[in-house]
Structure formats: structure tokens, C-alpha cells
Amino acid sequence: MVSFAQGLDTFEEKVTEFTLDNGLHFIIIERPVAPVATFVTFVNVGSVNEPVGNTGVAHIFEHMAFKGTKEIGTTDWEKESAAITRADFVYRQWVRERSKPNPDQERLERLKSRFDELVDEADQYVVSNEFTQIIEQNGGSGLNAFTSADATGYFYSLPQNRAELWFTLESDRFLNPVFREFYAEKDVVMEERRMRTDSNPVGRLIEEFLSVAYSAHPYKNPVVGWSSDIQGTSIEDAKQFFQQYYTPSNITIAIAGDVDPDRMKELAETYFGRMAPGRPAPEVVTSEPEQRGERRFVMVEESQPFFLSGYHTVSQTHPDFAALQLVGAITSQGRTSRLYKRLVEDEQMALAVQAFNGFPGTKYPGLFMTLAVPNQGVTLEEIEEIIEEEFQKVKDGDITQEELDRAITNARASQVRSLNSNMGLALSFAENHAQKGSWKQSFSSLEALEEVTLEDLQRVAETYFVKNNRTVGMIKNESSEEEVAINSEEN
């Protein structure tokens, strides 16, 4: 187990970092506990960076990165590529026609028929899952990726004597990406959206909530994308997104395990040095304006009722971020937390409650969120009243030093656990370098938590937990509401 007391000093001895001439940064963490290594490619781009009309493209491209290369996953790349290019050209024509006020239905049918023919032509050259199979055949494990509002990450582990294989595959898939099975994979993304959002009441509530809470900032858009944008996105759109954001200076690679830093640098220069520097990735320039008043909405559905509230707060680099994190922990994390103890245990008014800061992302000013699930016979208004009472206690300075110390201790324990694996180390160090300027911020963030005082907790609650800064969303079950009303009248 990693000893936090040793902390930063210990890791400084084990970490080697270097930046290639093209701007791509590497962090090598020596951890010779087993003859394996974990490789993380962290790209500082998420759904927050997507252009209007192409929401979901970051997630779509993430799927594309598993489709192989010009040599892997195809029997004839030249013929496959030609068919893909023609199919995408026809698809863009179909999108343009469909978007007209009065589309020509016959032309749409002809374009769709031709598009299907070209997709079938391209598919006959595809060797499905060959990229994944090569990794698994060489002892690879944990092959996966993620897309969030703020970032995209790719990762897996290999035996340390297969490190060069990783350099070969990883550099090739980002040096010359193929858009193989693009439209089939868009269908997979659309199905993910249906499962996680369209068919999920909490997913629907959160999507609606963000679109109400944010007026201007792109945090208002769902990571998976809007359905019409997913359908309308073409290969050409995805290529432009890749070229803008998958530049070497926007990528951080972390390798943790039983590896030789000198050898890793040699391989990095050989394989990733081939990438052209490119232009710096565009930054998000839109700022969310100050909210002018409380925003509320109600969704009436035949589902479990839910309560959701959020206050606009700050980004992860703001001095108040640590105190807001601790307010969330003290009020809802664990059985001794205030909201859990009161709502779930003592008064049994809720089935679950959670409060946390930094949603949907932390790179830009996010939201302090509170989600609660009422028990049968309890109204959402009653849940809201108690939540606000507990937040008022924070404003009144009711938090004790014991509660603060416990929250910091739990945060320290969580930090130790997260850095006790190759994956945890590589992902944390890469993310902190990319978004905060140094892997050492993995430790600085905990130091910031330890410096928070009771006065800080009270101050941030008074500053951010104000009505004009709040958005409230609810899912009400009409049948349940009527039942509660009847019971109230009888009593």
C-alpha cells in the first residue's frame, strides 16, 4: 500500500517525464511490483469542446479508435477507404437534403439506397475486432476508454516485454486514424443514448437539468450528444474534430509499471515522434453568465420520483473548490453524513441522497448537485425543505471540527487507494498534468483539502448556496402525488 506520509517525495524518485519535440508529454512511473505495465493516453478534449451541430462527436471518435489501422482490421485498405469516402460523400448529401424545409423524398430514398450499397462494399474488407484480438493475444487486459465532459482517455495493460507493441499500435491509431464501420458504430452510440438517457428517468432528468441550468456554456450539452446531432455527424465532421483536438500538445501519455524510463523514451521518440505538431487545440471561450434568478422545472412521469438541485460554483483550479468538495462529503458521504443520517436513517424520508461538487465537469465552473430519491408517501417538497435546512446549518457555521477532520481523513484514504494501482497512478498523473499543469497536483489537491477551515465551509455555503444561483428539477409521479394528497386529507 502506498504510504501517503511519503507522498510526493517518494514519487519524485520514481517518475520520469519528458516532452517530445512535437509537444506530446510522457510521464513514466516506475513500479516494479509485477512484470506488467499500464498505458494511459489522456486527451484534453471532451464534449465541452464539440462544435454546434456535432454534439456527441468526441464519444463517436472514441469508438473509432478501436477499429484498427490501415494495416490492422482490413483485407484491402485502399479499396475499403475508397468505398468509405464515397459513402460519406453520399451521406453528407443525404443530411443536407433532409435538413431542407421541404426535402425531396425521392432523392432522399435514392441517396439512402446508394449509401447502403457503399457501406456494404466497404464492410466486405473489414476484419472485425482484429485490433482488440492482437492486444488480447499478447496478454493485454483492461482495454477500454472513456469520454467525459472534459476529457477522453484510452487505456489497457500489457506484459512489460510487450511495451513496444503498445507503442506501435497506439501511435498508429492516432497518427493515421481510420473511420472503419463509422455508421454502424454511430448506431451503437445511439443505442447507448437510448439506454442511458431516453429510457432512464434519471438520465432524462439530468439531461433536462443541464439544459436549464446552463444558458451559454457548452456544459449544457449531453456527453453522448443530442439524437439529431449523432444522426447528422459525418466522417468528415469527425475528421475535422480529430485534426483540431488530437494534436500532440493536447495529449498526455502516462505509463506505470515495471518499465525502464530510458527505453520508454527511446520508443516514444521512434513511434510518437512521427506525429506532426499541429496547431494548438482551440480553447472554450464561452463563459456562463451570472444566473439572474432561480430556475425550476417539473417532469411528470409514471416513474420513481426524483429531486435534483444544483448551484453554480467554480472550476477545479479555484481556491474555493476544495471547500465545496468537503461540504458535499460532510453532508452526504457515508452513513454518518448529515443528509444521509437525517433523510435515510432517522426520518426515513428518502431511499438515497447524494451531494457533490463538480458536475458535469471540473475544468470549467460546474455545479454543486444534490440528488434525492423520496420514500413512499413523501413529497419532493418535503425533501427539498430538509435539504435546504441542512445547507442553512452549514451557512450558520454548524459544522464541527470533528466532521471536517473525518471528511479530510476519508479523502486521504481515497487518495491512497486511487494511487495503489498502475491504472490509478497513470490516470491521475496524466489528468493532473493535462488539466492542472503537473502530475504533482495529484498531491496538491489533497493539501488544499487539509487547509480548509470551518470558516471556509461557512463562507462557500453563504457565497454559492443562494436562491438566485439555484436550479431545481423534479420528476413527479402523478399517481404518487395524488396518493400523498389523499393521505394528507385523511390525516
Interval 208-225 mean pLDDT: 98
User: Residue 26: which CATH number?
Assistant: 3.30.830.10
Do β-strands 470-476 and 367-374 pair in parallel, antiparallel, or remain unpaired?
A: unpaired
- Given pLDDT bands bounded at 50, 70 and 90, which one contains residue 10? confident
Residues 237, 331, single domain; the answer is: no
Residues 209, 153, single domain; the answer is: yes
Contact 266, 48 (CB under 8 A): no
Number of neighbours of residue 216 by Cβ within 10 angstroms: 10
Last residue of a domain, one of 219, 238, 273: 273
The C-alpha angle with vertex 155 and arms to 152 and 157, in degrees rounded to 5, equals: 175
Return all residues near 40 (Cβ < 8 A) that are at least 6 apart: 153, 154, 155, 253, 254, 255, 256, 423, 426, 427, 430
Q: Would you say residue 1 lies in a domain?
A: no
Q: Would you say residue 411 lies in a domain?
A: yes
Could you give the angle at which helices 454-464 and 380-395 cross, rounded to 10 degrees? Answer: 130
Cell of 1: 500500500
186: pLDDT strictly greater than 80: yes
Interval 93-99 mean pLDDT: 96
- Separation CA 252–CA 160 (nearest Å): 20
Reference 333, options 206, 200, 449; nearest CA is: 449
Q: Could you tell me the CA-to-CA distances from 470 to 219, 221, 451 in Å, in that order?
A: 16, 19, 27
Last residue of a domain, one of 243, 273, 303: 273
Interval 362-389: pLDDT, tens: 999 999 999 999 999 999 999 999 999 9
Cell of 318: 479555484
Cell of 474: 423534479
AA letter at 3: S
Residues 265, 360, single domain; the answer is: no
Contact 396, 390 (CB under 8 A): no
Q: Would you say residue 316 lies in a domain?
A: yes
Interval 221-248: pLDDT, tens: 999 999 999 999 999 999 999 999 999 9
- Given pLDDT bands bounded at 50, 70 and 90, which one contains residue 446? confident
Interval 324-366: pLDDT, tens: 999 999 999 988 899 999 999 999 999 999 999 999 999 999 9
pTM over 0.75: yes
pLDDT for 2: 41
Contact 47, 221 (CB under 8 A): yes
Residues 353, 393, single domain; the answer is: yes
pLDDT for 187: 95
Residues 252, 379, single domain; the answer is: no
Of 181 and 418, the structure prediction assigns the larger pLDDT to 181
Residues 213, 244, single domain; the answer is: yes
9: pLDDT strictly greater than 80: no
CA-based torsion, 215, 221, 226, 230: positive or negative: positive
Interval 191-216 mean pLDDT: 96
As a whole number of angstroms, the longest Cα–Cα distance in the chain is 78
Cell of 18: 519528458
Reference 454, options 379, 398, 373; nearest CA is: 398
pLDDT for 3: 40
Reference 298, options 414, 198, 208, 432; nearest CA is: 208
Return all residues near 357 (Cβ < 8 A) that are at least 6 apart: 313, 321, 324, 325, 327, 328, 366, 367, 368, 369
Q: With helix as H, strand as E and coil as C, how does the chain read? A: CCCCCCHHHHHHHHEEEEECCCCCEEEEEECCCCCEEEEEEEECCCHHHCCCCCCCHHHHHHHHCCCCCCCCCECCHHHHHHHHHHHHHHHHHHHHHHCCCCCCHHHHHHHHHHHHHHHHHHHCCECCCHHHHHHHHCCCEEEEEEECCCCEEEEEEEEHHHHHHHHHHHHHHHHCCCCCCHHHHHHHHHHHHHHHHHCCHHHHHHHHHHHHHCCCCHHHCCCCCCHHHHHHCCHHHHHHHHHHHCCHHHEEEEEEECCCHHHHHHHHHHHHHHCCCCCCCCCCCCCCCCCCCCEEEEEECCCCCEEEEEEECCCCCCCCHHHHHHHHHHHHCCCCCHHHHHHHHHCCCEEEEEEEEEECCCCCCCEEEEEEEECCCCCHHHHHHHHHHHHHHHHCCCCCHHHHHHHHHHHHHHHHHHCCCHHHHHHHHHHHHHHHCCCCHHHHHHHHHHCCCHHHHHHHHHHHCCHHHEEEEEEECHHHHHHHHHHHHHC
Q: Would you say residue 242 lies in a domain?
A: yes
The C-alpha angle with vertex 232 and arms to 227 and 88, in degrees rounded to 5, equals: 140
Residues 202, 301, single domain; the answer is: no
Residues 181, 328, single domain; the answer is: no
Interval 268-292 mean pLDDT: 95
- Count up the domains in the chain and report the number: 2
Residues 173, 310, single domain; the answer is: no
Average pLDDT of the residues of the chain: 94
pLDDT for 324: 98
Q: Would you say residue 358 lies in a domain?
A: yes
Q: Would you say residue 115 lies in a domain?
A: no
Residues 216, 337, single domain; the answer is: no
The boundaries of the domain holding residue 425 are 295-490
Interval 401-416 mean pLDDT: 92
> Percentage of residues in the chain with pLDDT exceeding 90?
89
The C-alpha angle with vertex 37 and arms to 33 and 41, in degrees rounded to 5, equals: 140
Q: Would you say residue 286 lies in a domain?
A: no
- Tell me the chain's radius of gyration from C-alpha atoms: 25
Return all residues near 73 (Cβ < 8 A) that are at least 6 apart: 67, 126, 127, 128, 130, 131, 178, 180
Residues 306, 261, single domain; the answer is: no
pLDDT for 478: 73
Last residue of a domain, one of 273, 305, 333: 273
Interval 452-477: pLDDT, tens: 999 999 999 999 999 999 999 999 98
Interval 13-66: pLDDT, tens: 899 999 999 999 999 999 998 999 999 999 999 999 999 999 999 999 999 999
Residues 268, 339, single domain; the answer is: no
Cell of 339: 443528509
Q: Would you say residue 326 lies in a domain?
A: yes
